[in-house]
Amino acid sequence: MAREYEPVESPDETTVFAYHDLTPPTTADVYRAHRTVSEYLPQTPLVRCEWLSAELDADVYLKREDTLPTGAFKVRGGVNLVSRLSEEFRERGLIAASTGNHGQSVAYAGREFDVPVTICLPEDANPGKVRAMERFGAEITYHGDDYDEARSHAERLATEEGYRYVHSANESELVAGVGTGGIEIVEELPDVDACLAPIGGGSCASGYCLTVGELTDADVVGVQSRAAPAAYRAWRDGHLAPHDTMETTAEGLATRVPFALTQEILREKLDDFLLVEDDAINPAIKRLLEEEHVLMEGACATAVVALMDHHERFKDKTVVLPVSGRNLAVEKLGRIIGDSHATSPE
């Protein structure tokens, strides 16, 4: 097997290959990505959230990444990365592991640039996301009970078959692409005071750190469920060790392993990192749907919970929350709507 398809020493618990660029992108890299991404994806709306603004005595805006073709922010990174893919990988194809939105991102970009894609998913993957990936032309492989087991399988297949493994975070061009959403925020709302970003792998928060955090006086605040605190513990304690706890209901946050590239950015540039209770996520989803008729996944609902929990901190501030994904499974949505206890978080 050619040397470039063999794993190299990794700074974290995931597999990386020689073609992975673990150098953090700069703000200039994000602007270069913006030129590419804007050719393939529409600018997403930044809309004032009247309910939260009135509730918290603040100016709260929703960055509607859910209006992107895949329903989630990650497609920005997929488009930027695959647009710059080396010719040698176009025939062999791409492989990625995902709970859904990263997989959709890679599948969509693969279709746009005519590159074959294989996505490895855990056995209980969101059926709606699976169907979307299949419609984009991806081949689906199921393996394991959670994201990390599916990820290990994808890494093995990349080694054995020579696929180009698209890491969910250790990809400079992916993070730069994700950051293009932050450029749109800055151009439309330069006087923003704070941006709250959900953190699973950390590409969303990293992208905002490189844009909103660098180009304005705003604080970029990460948010994660207390039931899956791997990235928070790594950021707080300065390590890349996996964490045993991963019990969140929010699939976009469901990883035990922190990632080297995004952690490097977050440690240097993230202003704060908040944890929220997992049982507050579903009530936040229901309340936003009731009040604003906006559907969001559990991962981005953590930002709503954090804003409510820390309302005094954000009073009289201009705050942006990304609706980073809308691909909530229908069965889960039905349970949330039907749950008589799913009321407004305190």
pLDDT digits (tens, 9 = 90+) for 139-164: 999 999 998 899 999 999 999 999 99
Distance CA 167, CA 90 (A): 16
Contact 329, 125 (CB under 8 A): no
Calculate what percentage of the chain has a pLDDT beyond 70.
97
Residue 345: the pLDDT is 40
Going by CATH, does the domain composed of 75-170 fall within 3.30.1510.10? no
pLDDT (tens digit, 9 = 90+) per residue, 211-252?
Answer: 999 999 999 999 999 999 999 999 999 999 999 888 898 988
pLDDT (tens digit, 9 = 90+) per residue, 51-94?
Answer: 999 999 999 999 999 999 999 999 999 999 999 999 989 989 99
Residue 245: the pLDDT is 82
* 8-state DSSP, 270: -
pLDDT (tens digit, 9 = 90+) per residue, 96-123?
Answer: 999 889 999 999 999 999 999 999 999 9
Distance CA 55, CA 232 (A): 28
Residue 95: the pLDDT is 98
- Whose CA is closest to 69, among 319, 326, 250? 326
Residue 340: the pLDDT is 45
Distance set, CA 51 to CA 48, 60, 236 (Å): 9, 9, 33
Q: Mean pLDDT, to the nearest integer, of 254-268?
A: 95
Residue that has been written with the tokens 């929350």 in this structure: 321
Q: What is the CA radius of gyration of the chain?
A: 19
Categorize the per-residue pLDDT at 308 as very low, low, confident or very high, splitting at 50, 70 and 90. Answer: very high
Categorize the per-residue pLDDT at 26 as very low, low, confident or very high, splitting at 50, 70 and 90. Answer: very high
Contact 17, 160 (CB under 8 A): no
Residue 255: the pLDDT is 87
Distance CA 280, CA 225 (A): 9
- Whose CA is closest to 96, among 108, 88, 87, 84? 108
Length of the chain: 346
- Can you read off the two tokens belonging to residue 18? 């020689």
pLDDT (tens digit, 9 = 90+) per residue, 159-215?
Answer: 999 999 999 999 999 999 999 999 999 999 999 999 999 999 999 999 999 999 999
- What pTM does this model have? 0.94
3-class SS letters over 239-264:
CCCCCCCCCCCCHHHCCCCCCHHHHH
- Whose CA is closest to 189, among 70, 297, 43? 43
* 7-8 vs 16-17, strand pairing mode: antiparallel
Q: In the chain, what's the furthest Cα-to-Cα distance?
A: 61
* CATH number at 28-73+173-338: 3.40.50.1100
Considering only 5-14, 77-86, 293-302, which range has the smallest mean pLDDT? 5-14
Residue 36: the pLDDT is 97
Domain with CATH 3.40.50.1100 in the chain: 28-73+173-338, 75-170
Summary mean pLDDT of the chain: 94
Residue that has been written with the tokens 């509730």 in this structure: 55
